[in-house]
Amino acid sequence: MTQPKVHFQWVKGLTYQEVWDFQTGIHKQLVERKLQKRDWAESEKNLKDQKNQLIFCEHSPVFTLGKSGSINHLLLTDAELATGHIEFFKINRGGDITYHGPGQITGYPIFDLDEFFTDVHKYVRMIEEAIIQVLALYGLKGERIDSYTGVWLPPNETSDQYRKICAIGVHLSRWVSMHGFAFNINTDLDYFNKIIPCGIVDENKTVTSLAKELGREVPLQEVGEKLVSVFADLFEFELV
């Protein structure tokens, strides 16, 4: 069986809105290609070969609120957002509020899951597994927690809390995915004090970053290279 093809790229220097528009355009093209392929009047050989995409970004500070989230979980006023030079967007992914910013890999897999598997639960678990495997390469044990999406680090000798290191929120239309995950690498965690991250109110849970756990900064490009390799192995796709 032929492996799906995925084009990987880092996207830099764009605003959140520009990246959102960019991934929305790719998503729309993939959906339109699927509809054309299902039209027997259209010869498949005449269709543009629109590939699946895996996009990594490092955003400027921005809070995004998922369609099931509460605006009350944003703890800043509009004036405070402006003063702090933080953007805010309500978007169409699942989940509640989270933060994207410098030192974080925000990943957008735009996959036609008909080429992989049509199972939303499995898709989210696979993203979690990719993060867990990368954490293992740095000697850290990532875990899942029942009822909470994302990847966590368990309590240890330095912290009695579960610490979320990666948030996940996705949107699918006709089995084509968009949005994705936010993996804290060298992230300024103070921004999470300005929201109720993912809407979770639990004193036993907080957020963390790879740098905080390791006690040193880690090159973003280095983590990104490991992550895309793990994605390719797990999802069994060919990088093009």
**What residues are annotated to the active site?**
198
Query: Can you tell me the distance from the alpha carbon of 96 to that of 132, in angstroms, rounded to the nearest whole number?
Result: 22
Closest C-alpha among 119, 100, 117 to residue 108 = 100
- Among candidates 117, 129, 127, which has minimal Cα distance to 93? 127
How far is Cα 117 from Cα 122, in angstroms, rounded to an integer? 8
Would you state the structure tokens that stand for residue 84, as one six-digit string? 């702090």
Strand 176-184 to strand 104-110: parallel, antiparallel, or no bridges (unpaired)? antiparallel
Please answer whether residues 127 and 98 qualify as being in contact, where contact means their C-beta atoms are separated by less than 8 angstroms.
no
Q: Residue holding tokens 């509809």?
A: 35
